[in-house]
Amino acid sequence: MVFKDVFRSCAFLATNSLVFSLRLPVSNHAANKAPEASPTPIAILLVVLILQITRFWFEMLHLIKKNLEQDCNLPIQIFSFLNSNITISRTNVLKGTASLLPASKSIANRALIINALAGGNSELHNLSDANDTQLMLKRIHTKEQIIDVEDAGTTMRFLTAYFTVTRQLKVLTGTSRMKERPIGILVNALRTLGADIKYLEKDGYPPLEIVQFDEQKTDSLRIRGDVSSQFISALMMIAPSLPNGLTLELEGKVGSLPYIEMTASMMKHFGVSCELQKDKVIILPQVYKPAPFTVESDWSAASYWFAFAALSEKAEILLPRLSLASLQGDSAIVKIMEPLGVSAAMENGLLKLTKKESQQEISWDFTHCPDLAQTVAVVCAAKGIKGYFTGLESLRIKETDRIAALQQELQKIGGTLIELDKAHWTLEPSRQLPQQASFNTYKDHRMAMAFAPLATLMNVEIEDKAVVRKSYPNFWNDILSFGFPMK
C-alpha cells in the first residue's frame, strides 16, 4: 500500500506540474490574438524529471523489501512502515544467540527513580531500550506540567509517587487503555500521607493532577497486596525521603513478591535499608547515596526464547547478560520450563537452552511471576501438555485483559483456558495444530511475543508487530537472526 501511495503522490505532483506548464503563456505574433497556452521546454523537463524520480524511489523501496525478506542481516525496521502485521514462516531447528535481548525495564525504571531521589548523579549502565524505560528517562526530569506516559504502567505509578514526594505539580495521563488501569490504591495511600491529588476524568483512574503535598500526616499505611506490587514499590522508593519514614502493612495475599524484594535490594544498593517482614515493610527516614549500577538482561524477554526452545525440533539457544541468581521474579521461567522440555545451564557467561523430554501436565502458581503466564499457556497448548494454573488474577488489569485475550487466541490452535473459579484455571491443550494461524495482539506486547514461538510449528502471522517496542524493541530482529523467513 505504501508503494502505491508514494507513486500516487509523485504522479499527482507530476500531473499538476504539467497542468501548470500548459497554462504558461507563449508569445504569439499574430495580430489581435490572445496568447495561447503551450508547454515550455523547462516544464516538460520538470515533468520528466519528477516521473524518473518517482520510478527510482518505487524501485528502491521494492528492492529494500525484497532484500530484507532474503537477508537476515538487514534490520526489520527498514520496512516496518510497509505493513502493520508480520508473517513468520515455519522453522523448527534453532541455533544461535539472541544478542539483542533487552535490559530489564523493571530494574531500569526503579534505578531511574532511586537515582533521581539520590540527586541524579549515579552512573547507570545498560539501561533498557524498551519504550517504558525510555519514557521514564525522558519524563522524570522534564519541566513540562503535563506528563504523557502513553501505555507504561510502571512509569505512571512510579512517577505519581515521585512527583508527589518531590512536590512537583503535574498532570499525568496516558493512552485510552492506561485510563482504564486502576491507580486508586496508590492515590488513596498518597492522600493519606498528606497529598492533594485530583482525578480529572474517572475516580480511581488516570488522568490525575498532583496539586500539592505540604506535610506528612502519617507514617503508617495499610495497603492491599493482591492487586499490583508496583503500588507497594512506588511507596517503598519514596519512603526514605519522607520526614517520618513509612511503615507499610500489607493486607491479604501479596502478589509479585519478588518485585518487592527487588525494590528493597536496589534501595540497599543506593544506601537505604528496608526491613521486610511477612506482611509489613518498615523504612526509616534515610538519604539515598549515588552509586554506579548496571542493569541486567530482562528475564521476561528471555522467557520467549525458552518457548522457542520448548516448541522446536532441535534447539541450541544462547542468551546473554543473564544471571541464575537474578533479582527478577521471572527467572522462575527456568524451573517452569524444565518439565515443559527445556534445559538451561550457564556456559561461558551465556545461558544455554537445549531440548529435553517433557511431561504430560504441569501445575504452577503465577502469583509472583504473572508476566510468564501467557508464554507458558501457549507452550502447553501447542505441546499437548495439560496445565493447572493459579495466580492469574492480576492479568485482568494489564495492557489488556490477558485472560480474555488468551482464551480467544488459544482457540485458534485448538487450546482452551477454562476458568474454574476466581483463583483456578485449567489449560486444555490442542489435539491438532493448524498449518498456519493469525493472532491478534490486543495492543499487548506480551501477546505478540507469547504466540510468535508457534512459528516453530506452523506459519504464524502476528497483528500489530510494533507493540513489542514496549519491552523488546529488537524482538523481530533477534528472530530473524535464527533464520526464520519473515515478511
Distance set, CA 326 to CA 299, 322, 333 (Å): 9, 8, 12
Asked if residues 157 and 231 have their Cβ atoms less than 8 Å apart, the reply is yes
More confident residue, 57 or 336: 336
312 backbone dihedrals φ, ψ, rounded to 5°: -80, 165
pLDDT at 64 over 50: no
* Whole-number percent of the chain with pLDDT over 70: 83
Residue 431: predicted pLDDT: 95
- Domain 86-102+303-481 of CATH type 3.50.50.60: no
Residue 21: predicted pLDDT: 44
Catalytic residue among 132, 151, 298, 371: 371
- Domain 105-294 of CATH type 3.65.10.10: yes
Residue 269: predicted pLDDT: 97
pTM higher than 0.75, yes or no? yes
What confidence category does residue 56 fall into, taking pLDDT thresholds of 50, 70 and 90? low
pLDDT at 24 over 90: no
What confidence category does residue 60 fall into, taking pLDDT thresholds of 50, 70 and 90? low
Q: What is the pLDDT of residues 280-297, one digit of tens each?
A: 999 999 999 999 999 999
For the question of residue 371 being annotated catalytic, the response is yes
pLDDT at 29 over 60: no
> Mind giving me the DSSP string for 167-229?
T---EEE--TTGGGS--HHHHHHHHHHTEEEEESSSTTSS-EEEEEE-----SEEEEESSS-H
C-alpha span between 184 and 166 (Å, rounded) = 20
pLDDT at 71 over 70: no
Q: What's the number of CA atoms in the CB half-sphere (13 Å) around residue 99? A: 8
pLDDT at 106 over 50: yes
Which residue ranges make up each domain of the chain? 2-66, 86-102+303-481, 105-294
Q: What is the pLDDT of residues 371-425, one digit of tens each?
A: 999 999 999 999 999 999 999 999 998 989 999 999 999 999 999 999 999 899 9
More confident residue, 52 or 77: 52
pLDDT at 68 over 50: no
> Is 86-102+303-481's fold the same as 105-294's?
yes
Q: What is the pLDDT of residues 377-392, one digit of tens each?
A: 999 999 999 999 999 9
424 backbone dihedrals φ, ψ, rounded to 5°: -130, 135
Q: What is the pLDDT of residues 202-217, one digit of tens each?
A: 999 999 999 999 999 9
